[in-house]
Amino acid sequence: MLRRNLREDRGQAFVELALVLPILILLLVGAAEIGRLAYASIEVSNAARAGVAYAAQSHTTAADNGATGGIVQAAQNDAPNITNLHATPTYSCSCEGSTGTMSAFSSCDNTVANLTTCPSPSRIVLYVQITTWADMNTLFRYPGIPSSIRLQGFANMRVEQ
């Protein structure tokens, strides 16, 4: 009787493994995918910080915003593993008086980055905002999850006087 029960249990662990293995593999692949997307998201955010740090050095570097300018190049150099990284700088300006009061300009771009725009003794205060983004494709197709995810980063910093 005991031998007969032992023969019936032979292969039970293999059947359980065959039933659980697809779920386990799906969990492992999903965790790897989330880790890869989290890494890329951090890279995109750090690229925005690198671009704004470059731009905030002076009014000259803040005006270096062409398609291959220093701001975009600094952002792309900080995230070399993200091949399709895009960076867009925007500006906000205001005049700061000697009492610390601020009056904003209606429009501001890199051409306003000179000190002749504000009446004396006021000075211009220039802020640079960098928005970075990259579209990342998932390694596998999952039902109900898009195959392309847009990751975004943002940084804002005051330009040195």
Distance CA 62, CA 70 (A): 9
Q: Which residue has the higher pLDDT, 141 or 36?
A: 36
Distance CA 34, CA 151 (A): 13
Residue 106 confidence (pLDDT) above 50: yes
Q: Are 85 and 134 in contact (CB under 8 A)?
A: yes
Counting beta carbons within 10 angstroms of the beta carbon of residue 38, is it exposed (0 to 12), middle (13 to 18) or buried (19 or more)?
exposed
Q: Which of 86, 89, 84, 88 is nearest to 148 (CA)?
A: 84
Residue 110 confidence (pLDDT) above 60: no
Q: Which residue has the higher pLDDT, 52 or 98?
A: 52
Confidence at 153, pLDDT banded by 50, 70, 90: very high
What is the tens place of the pLDDT at every residue in 13-29? 888 999 999 999 989 99
Q: Which residue has the higher pLDDT, 5 or 51?
A: 51
Give residue 152's pLDDT: 96
Give residue 66's pLDDT: 67
pTM of the model: 0.76
In terms of phi and psi (left: phi > 0; alpha: psi -120 to 50; beta: otherwise), the region of 145 is beta
Residue 107 confidence (pLDDT) above 90: no
Distance CA 16, CA 9 (A): 12
Average pLDDT in the 77-100 region?
Answer: 85
Report the chain's terminal Cα–Cα distance, integer Å.
Answer: 92
